[in-house]
Amino acid sequence: MTTEEQAQIPEDGSKTLTDLILKGDHENAARVAVEIVAKSGSANDVVDTISDAMNIVSDLHGMERYSVAEVEKCEDAAEKALDAVRPRIKIDRKKIKGRVMVSSLQGDPHSFDRTLLLTMLEIGGFTAIDGGTDLSPEQVASKVKHHKPDILAVPILTDTAARKLIDANTHIQDTGGKLNIIAYGRSSQGLMGQKFTMVEDDYFSAFSKIAEILISKA
């Protein structure tokens, strides 16, 4: 990128990126995210901006100003921006003991909440395992058996995914798996009565709970 091209990036690049995510403009969100990193050299700050933008989206959805379809457009834009800058993210090399697998289940439309939590874990020095997307309960249990994580974190964005997680836990128990399960996201509250899982509101509170569990074991 030339000096002239860099000069065209708005000084407040984070506001521009936030606005693009709020509009669900995935092409320009990815482009601007890359441009901000090229200018500032900090991909980690861009991750913070993306997270903050999605907190705004969540609030707007809670106030019924954004429909589910609009939220999904915003999440798509946020994920494209995140994918664009992930290669430039600075990772904490001081690894925290413990393994976290993050997977999404059949019934959830996309994987942004999974991708952002994985990224936050990597930045924080946790051993994060990408467990994949659109998994059946049987596939989740198989991956848990293979990877042997200490924690399974699952974004729950639909009631269908919540039911799939209940089934997945049954399969995990049948294979002798023992681990902490954390469900998070806008439809996770339906799991509050389930003893097998901890329920968190969003990826940030899920990250905090993961840190609390693993650091206490260190």
116-167 per-position pLDDT tens digit: 999 999 888 999 999 999 999 999 999 999 999 999 999 998 899 999 999 9
d(CA 52, CA 142): 34
The owner of tokens 């693009």 is 20
Q: Which domains does the chain have, with CATH numbers?
A: 3-88 (1.10.1240.10), 96-217 (3.40.50.280)
- Residue 150 in contact with residue 112, Cβ under 8 Å? no
Q: What confidence tens digit (pLDDT) does each residue in 69-117 have?
A: 998 899 999 999 999 998 888 877 677 889 999 999 998 866 788 989 9
CA distance 157 to 72: 10
Element (H, E) at 133: strand 126-135
What gap in Å lies between CA 211 and CA 98, rounded to an integer?
10
pTM beyond 0.75, yes or no: yes
Rounded CA-CA distance 192/147 in Å is 26
Q: Starting at the earlier edge strand, list the strands of the sheet with 151-155.
A: 126-135, 96-105, 151-155, 180-184, 197-200
Residue 110 in tokens: 């996309």
Cβ atoms of residues 82 and 36 within 8 Å? no
Cβ atoms of 154 and 104 closer than 8 Å: yes
The residue type of 57 is V
